[in-house]
Chain A
């Protein structure tokens, strides 16, 4: 019930392509869904987040799509760049409950030039 399942584990995309990372959850109490980006040697940093009252949120080349009925959400990176090469983590939490985030296991994205 507390898990967030993330796929794929690794992803290789050509420069200019679209990167798509998917996450699924079981706990219907989750109501905040952030994505974190981690570069080698650094801690993760918040990239973009969504709440379930909207089905999509876009910030520049990064878009979260959210499907409440399917309990799934995904990160789309348009026009992927080599500088986007990083590990991406999806996460979820219930804002009315514990302050803890439940993280997916991460996706290592490589964007080839």
Chain B
């Protein structure tokens, strides 16, 4: 079974703190994604990585950065956490589609609260 794990299920941080969210996948997938999920807004892509050290901005990258030093690990960094970054954060991975569809496998999510 494909497994995507996220370092924390729940996290509480203070405004201004630097926050690291870690994601690890065990299926040798090329692509990894970070989304945030908010009620009524669905899944919004923050950043996407298609290879080690490669990244691409998603729809809402402001206030976030990412790091992918190893193929299996993709980190989301909140440089200076703010209250409007309180959300559920979901990591996902997928293999290169190659015309055969592109299932994304999601982790269980990290619920981040910024006080």
Could you tell me which A residues sit within 8 Å of B by CB distance? 6, 9, 32, 34, 41-46, 49, 51, 89, 93, 95-96, 98-101, 103-106
Contact of A32 among B41, B58, B101 (CB under 8 A): B101
* CB closest residue in chain B, given A95: B97
State how many angstroms separate the Cβ of B76 from the closest Cβ of chain A.
15
Contact across chains for B102 and A43 when beta carbons are under 8 A apart: no
* CB closest residue in chain A, given B100: A95
Can you list 27 A-B contacts with CB-CB less than 8 angstroms, sorted by A residue number?
Answer: A9-B40, A32-B101, A34-B101, A41-B109, A43-B90, A43-B92, A43-B107, A43-B108, A43-B109, A44-B106, A45-B105, A46-B103, A46-B104, A51-B101, A89-B42, A95-B99, A98-B56, A99-B31, A99-B48, A99-B50, A99-B94, A100-B45, A100-B58, A101-B102, A103-B43, A105-B40, A106-B42
Give the number of A-B contacts (CB < 8 Å): 61
Whether a CB of chain A sits under 8 angstroms from the CB of B96 is yes
**Which bracket fits the contact residues of B?**
20 to 34
Contact across chains for A45 and B102 when beta carbons are under 8 A apart: no
Whether a CB of chain A sits under 8 angstroms from the CB of B112 is no
* CB closest residue in chain A, given B50: A99
* CB closest residue in chain B, given A41: B108
Please, how many angstroms separate the alpha-carbon atoms of A43 and B42 in the complex? 12
Mark interface residues in B78-115 (1 if CB within 8 Å of A CB, else 0). Answer: 00000000000010101011010111111111000000
Please, how many angstroms separate the alpha-carbon atoms of A51 and B99 in the complex? 10
Contact of B102 among A32, A44, A89 (CB under 8 A): A32
Contact of B42 among A41, A42, A105 (CB under 8 A): A105
Contact across chains for B109 and A100 when beta carbons are under 8 A apart: no
Please, how many angstroms separate the alpha-carbon atoms of A49 and B94 in the complex? 15
State how many angstroms separate the Cβ of A96 from the closest Cβ of chain B.
8
